[in-house]
Amino acid sequence: MPLAARYGIVSDIHANYTALKVALDHLQAQGVDKILCLGDLVGYGAEPFECIQAVKDKPNVLTIAGNHDRQVIGDKDARMRKTAAKVLDWTADNISPSNARFLRQIPQGMTVDDTFILVHGSLVERDAYILSAQEISKNLNCMINDFPGMKICFFGHTHIPMLIGTKAVINDLRETKGFKLDRNDVYLINPGSVGQPRDKCPLASFAIFDAENWTVTFVRKPYDFRLAGKLIIDNGLPEKFARRLAVGV
């Protein structure tokens, strides 16, 4: 499959359609050809139906499942915190049967255009967090040894935007920044979280990969986090999930 010119990368939307709309509008304005969605469409937030509708049945959007998506359809994660699990019980009651079917049929991971790998957590262990030097090195080794020819593994789950190469790791991405990549190197790239950023920056976080110039741009955009928080509270979901949106934790 030939590469598209530009890919939009989104992850960890967490039922925050207020933020997702801002991200999708920006990606459309930038003329991306394909959108890669790295999972956790639902959980924490109050707009799961709208978020699933925004990606399902869209031929140019490829989506994989995150641990919150799996929990909604009964694949329970024993490590899930009680309050987060409570929101997912509410979510199961607030999405349509066709939305639930969509969550059931999305894959855990995939390769795209013979060049990219998509995982939610980690290449090595499904729900591990790629944050520590040890996890970074395990995943880079796995990529090089087990996925020859693949250039970039896009991952999510940590809600922290990161550009990981074999020579450097960049994780201070609290404003929009672009990077030229080396076509001969391999990378692990986390676009950050659209709907619940945790790098102490409340701006929605996502990325654009330009396959013609081999560049990645980490994009940070303001959205109405007060509205997203109000929807959480109005729907009786834990208030702490509303409060954290204001500070990005």
Give contact residues for Fe ion (rule: CB under 5 A).
12, 40
How far apart CA 154 and CA 165 sit, in angstroms, is 12
Residue 40 or residue 210: which is nearer to Fe ion going by CB?
Answer: 40
At residue 207, the 3 state secondary structure works out as strand
Non-local (6+) Cβ contacts of 80 within 8 A are 67, 71, 88
Residue 47 or residue 210: which is nearer to Fe ion going by CB?
Answer: 47
At residue 158, the 3 state secondary structure works out as coil
Non-local (6+) Cβ contacts of 184 within 8 A are none
How far apart CA 31 and CA 6 sit, in angstroms, is 8
In the bound state, the residue with its beta carbon closest to Fe ion is 40
Q: How far is the CB of 12 from Fe ion (least distance, A)?
A: 4
* Amino acid type, 74: G
How far apart CA 187 and CA 242 sit, in angstroms, is 33
Q: How far is the CB of 198 from Fe ion (least distance, A)?
A: 9
Residue 40 or residue 135: which is nearer to Fe ion going by CB?
Answer: 40
Residue 42 or residue 219: which is nearer to Fe ion going by CB?
Answer: 42
DSSP per-residue codes, 214-245 = TEEEEEEE---HHHHHHHHHHTT--HHHHHHH
Q: How far is the CB of 56 from Fe ion (least distance, A)?
A: 19
Q: How far is the CB of 173 from Fe ion (least distance, A)?
A: 17
Q: How far is the CB of 27 from Fe ion (least distance, A)?
A: 19
Residue 14 or residue 151: which is nearer to Fe ion going by CB?
Answer: 14
Residue 15 or residue 35: which is nearer to Fe ion going by CB?
Answer: 15
Give residue 39's Cα distance to chain centre: 5
CA distances from residue 45 to 5, 29, 36, 232 in whole angstroms, order as listed: 32, 26, 21, 6
> Which is it for the CA torsion 11, 25, 52, 33, positive or negative?
negative
Residue 44 or residue 209: which is nearer to Fe ion going by CB?
Answer: 44
Q: How far is the CB of 71 from Fe ion (least distance, A)?
A: 11
CA distances from residue 173 to 8, 38, 168 in whole angstroms, order as listed: 17, 19, 14
